[in-house]
Amino acid sequence: MSNPVKEKIRNNQIVSGCFIGMYSTYLVEVAGHVGFDFIVIDNEHGAFSWEQIEDMIRAVEITTAVPFVRVPSSDPVYILKALDRGAKGIHVPKIESEEEADQVIKSVKFPPEGERGVAYSVRASKYGLDGGPEYLKRSNDDIFITIQLETPKGIDNAEKIIEKDVDMVYIGPTDLSVSANRASEGVKDPEVIELIERVFDIGQSINKNIGIHVANSSEWHERKKWGAKYMGVAINSIINPALSQYLEEIK
């Protein structure tokens, strides 16, 4: 097993990650050295070139963290590009049906398990030095697949989606609250909480792990009580309060 996040999840450990949506090899490297289990290079909201994504993956790889990429959509081209650059996991936003989940799996896996295009000349296979059947099998086994539920429609189809052969179903509370027309109260809105709890209940009923995005350490501990095994936080949610607190303390 060459993906430590998969191993920790299988051992019933809780894993924590950091989403970074700005180009900075320094930031991803520091976040990895600090001790996050995984770093998500956020190419849904970030503005990266594929070369920049590859550079950030390299920076994560010299730490103990595992490099993941959140792609803009379930388009197979985005998934292929991220994995060929060397990402060890994929976050795919706004999945709303079992058919979309199936397509994500096919896009991640090489044949016969999926439909991912093969090129041994890319970084993921050491530019041709690590190609062949062993590489194909290792990739199929090791890539961490995360699909995100972020809309009421996705929640309505959650049971069928969660049953799919993915490593993590991840709730995006901000998108969920906005798409449910509950932006004013956000995650604290009772209707949004009910939607989130429904996903956790389904996951527990069929023994599938559920993850969720958090805004701070207090939310992390609260979501842990809900049963979350996989939690991520945006780097801005850490940096902004720290900078504000520093300025308040010196003025």
pLDDT in tens, 43-91: 999 999 999 999 999 999 999 999 999 999 999 999 999 999 999 999 9
The DSSP code for 73 is S
Distance CA 190, CA 199 (A): 15
Report d(CA 203, CA 162) in Å as an integer: 7
Greatest pairwise CA separation for the chain in angstroms: 62
pLDDT tens per residue, range 157-202: 999 999 999 999 999 999 999 999 998 888 889 999 999 999 999 9
Q: Where are the beta strands (DSSP E) in the chain?
A: 15-20, 38-42, 66-70, 89-92, 144-149, 168-171, 210-214, 230-234
What is the set of domains in the chain, with CATH numbers?
4-250 (3.20.20.60)
